[in-house]
Amino acid sequence: KISDMKQYLPIRPETVDGTKIEVCLNVGSAEKSELELEEYTDGVGLFRTEFLYMSKKQLPTEEEQFEVYKKIAEVYGERPVVIRTLDIGGDKKLDYLELPQEDNPFLGLRALRLCFEMKPIFKTQLRAILRAGVYGNIWIMFPMVGSIGDIRFAKQIVEEVKQELDQEEVPYDKNIKVGIMVEIPSIALMADVAASEVDFASIGTNDLCQYLMAVDRLNPSVAKYYQSFHPAMFRLIKQIAEAFTSQGKPVSVCGEMGGNPQAVALLAGLGIRKFSMNASSVAPVKKMIHQLNIRKAERMARTVLELSTAVQVESYMNSELPQ
Ligand code: PEP
Ligand code: MG
């Protein structure tokens, strides 16, 4: 079966009726093993940089980060590489960073919030990313954005870093694209405003589901309540997709749903044209896209938006697109 699947790796992801879809890779490093499918993908849709920090005994230096980001930018050339700034906290810890004990780490000081508190760490990473941008097509993405205020503050820090690089006459990508993860419901509901403030967005369905359903994504005793095929998810994603596409801003999906062929069909029906996924999903997703008719995808999406439960959505999808 796996070898059958391999034949789909080299195909251009396009639906039966000619709608082009981008298939990108989620990575956690610039190691060769992670980039094996580089030639079959349209870019990196999510570089989870926290692994760079977790694999060390101390904070990675600007230079260390610069080398990694430069390497991946060069490998992908003109194709975009979306580098997500540090998303630590929640389930991801750094031994060498003293952080307060929290009763609810997933609702606590994590990701962008932590970067705002520890500005020097944030700025070091932004310097490395901006500098590496000279060697390819890097886009900066902020995780766990909750408000328009978060966006403005993060952009202001990018501006500060740019000014410092200007003063030092250090080369960097002056036109780097800046975008956000949409993974907190409050910013999802403000997507129309958010879209006017950024260059692009990527929907993080893992956290979006966790925060929308109020279910810890790692807690097995409530796993059955973690329903990424709940109609509420698709209603919300529809709103996000429309807000960004109507303003001509790219919007992708980079959570686990972006690597699930049935979900990809539905999300394409809602207007999503870019998906980012783990390497193991590239062939199955390309196969789905290759066999999909966009009119059918739109019809399925319309149906799902009117269903009442996740169970109904799943059985409907199993009847329309048996796996
Ligand atoms: C997400 O939340 O969907 C996502 C892609 O980010 P992570 O899984 O790293 O939280
Ligand atoms: Mg997330």
207 CA closest ligand 1 atom index: 2
- Which residue blocks in 168-309 are alpha helix, DSSP H? 185-189, 191-197, 205-213, 231-246, 261-269, 282-291, 294-306
Does position 298 have pLDDT exceeding 70, yes or no?
A: yes
Q: Is the Cβ atom of 183 under 6 angstroms away from ligand 1? A: yes
Q: Using CA atoms, how far apart are residues 178 and 3, in angstroms rounded to an integer?
A: 38
Amino acid at 155: K
Q: Which residue has the higher pLDDT, 222 or 98?
A: 222
Q: What digits encode the pLDDT tens for the residues 197-256? A: 999 999 999 999 999 999 999 999 999 999 999 999 999 999 999 999 999 999 999 999
Ligand 1 pocket mutation, candidates 183, 251, 281, criterion most atoms within 8 A of CB: 183
Can you tell me the distance from the alpha carbon of 262 to that of 321, in angstroms, rounded to the nearest whole number? 7
Is the CB–ligand 1 distance for residue 255 below 6 Å? yes
Q: Is the Cβ atom of 45 under 6 angstroms away from ligand 1?
A: no
- Of 24, 115, 209, 254, the catalytic one is 254
Q: Is the CB of 127 under 6 A from ligand 1?
A: no
Rounded CA separation 301/263 (Å): 10
pLDDT at 139: 98
Please list all protein residues whose beta carbon sits less than 5 angstroms from ligand 2, which is an ion: 183, 204, 207
- Reduced to 3 states (helix: H, G, I; strand: E, B; else coil), residue 124 is helix
Instruction: Give me ligand 2 centre to Cα 319, in Å.
Output: 30
H helix or E strand, kind and range, residue 260: none
Q: With cut-offs at 50, 70 and 90, classify the pLDDT of residue 323.
A: confident
Tell me, using a 6 A CB cutoff, whether residue 254 lines ligand 1. Answer: yes
Q: Which helix (H) or strand (E) holds 112?
A: helix 111-117
Residue 1: pLDDT above 80?
A: no
| Closest ligand 1 atom to 143 CA | 6
Q: Which two tokens stand for residue 97?
A: 């960073």
Inform me whether the pLDDT recorded for 59 exceeds 80: yes
pTM assigned to the model: 0.97
Read off the pLDDT of residues 66-97 as tens digits, 9 standing for 90 and up: 999 999 999 999 999 999 999 998 878 898 98
> What's the CA gap between 142 and 162, in Å, rounded?
17
**Separation of alpha carbons 44 and 26, rounded Å:** 6
Q: How far is the CA of 254 from the centre of ligand 2 (A)?
A: 9
ipTM score here? Answer: 0.99
Q: From CA 111, how far away is CA 141, in angstroms rounded?
A: 12
Say yes or no to pLDDT of 2 above 80.
Answer: no
Pull the structure tokens for residue 30: 């610039």
The reply to whether 115 belongs to the active site is no
Beta strands (DSSP E) in the chain are 22-27, 44-48, 81-84, 138-142, 177-182, 200-203, 251-253, 274-277
